Each structure stands twice: as structure tokens, then as C-alpha cells.
Amino acid sequence: MNGLIELFLTFAKIGAFTFGGGYAMISLIEDICVEKKKWITHDEMMDITVIAESTPGPIAINCATYVGYKKQKFLGAIFATIGMVLPSFVIIFLISKYLDRFLEISWINNAFHGIKIAVGILILDAAVKMLSKAKLTALKIIIIIASCIAMLVINIFSLHIASFVIMLFAAIIGLVSFLINNKTERSKAE
């Protein structure tokens, strides 16, 4: 039971004190679950992030569910997921219930402008950590650069292309590369 409570409290803290959605939470999840508590490895965190991004649902909740399941199986997944969701639910519920014009309060509106900058930095921090620990090859570097350029072009010209499309192209390129390398290795072995 202590493990379940620890999962709940850990993800409740992440859910309560991280603004900006799932991408901003990745850095904090990695810091706590990989670096401090050592519940998962960095490679598992990278895999979780990729899988969580490509499956339905918010990325942070999918990450919490995975870590919870790895630590305490089904009940761990439930406790971690509820811990991640509950703080946001309570905060939004209270805001919607008691503050009709929440963002019209000038100091709250100004605070959110500052939070936007911090969220960007948290997302950038998660990306830098993942890249610094990744085993980069020439193909991976090309995919990273091409993806960054594609996202810049999409944002600058306000194109309506989902980030999933870029991920799909990167996945196809990675799969084709794997198949070609695998075929080459089999040919050499024969």
C-alpha cells in the first residue's frame, strides 16, 4: 500500500505544480522518476514518451500510467493516473465554480504570461535531456534537423499540419532504414 500511496503523491505533485500540459511535465517526470526515484531508466523514459505521444490521450497521463504499471501493476497504473489527473481537475473545477472571469484579474493574467515562458523552457529542457542521452546517428540527426525545420515552417506560415504527420514521416524513415540495414546484414551473413 505504501508504494501505491507514493505513486499517487508523486504524480499528484507533478500534476499540481506543472503548468503547460503534458510536454512541460515530461521534464519533471524524468527528473523524479528517472533521476531521483530510479523507477525507470532514461531509455524507458524515451520509449514511454514516444509511445505516449503516439497513443490516444494526454502524454503526461500516459507516462504516469506506464510508470505506475511498471512499479505496482494494475493498481499502480490507477493510482499514478489518478494522482496525475486529480490536481488539475480540482483546480479547474474550483476556478470554473468560483471565479467567473478568472483571467480578467490582471495579476492572474500577468502570471499566466510568465508561466508561458516557463512552460517553453520546461519543454526545451525535456528535449535537450532526451537529445543529450540519445545515441545519435547521421540519420537521427537528419531527422531531428528536418523535423525542426518543418515545425518552424508550419508555425511561421500558420499551416494546419499536425505534429503527428511529422512523427509519421520520421517513423517511416526509421522503419525503412531498419529494413535496409537488416537486409544488408542478412546478405553479408549469407
* Helix ranges restricted to H, the chain: 2-17, 22-30, 42-54, 59-98, 106-133, 138-156, 163-189
Q: pLDDT tens for residues 112-130?
A: 778 778 877 877 887 888 7
- What pLDDT, on a 0 to 100 scale, did the predictor assign at position 125? 80
Judge contact between 95 and 19, C-beta under 8 A.
no
Q: pLDDT tens for residues 130-186?
A: 788 778 888 888 998 998 899 889 988 988 888 888 888 988 998 999 899 888 888
Q: What is the mean pLDDT of residues 92-117?
A: 77
Give the confidence band of 27 by pLDDT, cuts at 50, 70, 90: confident
Domain residue extents for the chain: 2-134, 135-190
Query: What's the pTM?
Result: 0.62
- What pLDDT, on a 0 to 100 scale, did the predictor assign at position 95? 77
Q: pLDDT tens for residues 45-96?
A: 888 888 887 777 788 888 999 999 999 999 999 999 999 999 988 888 887 7
Residue 178, amino acid: F
Residue 15 has pLDDT above 90, yes or no: no
CA–CA distance, 170 with 158 (Å, rounded to integer) = 21
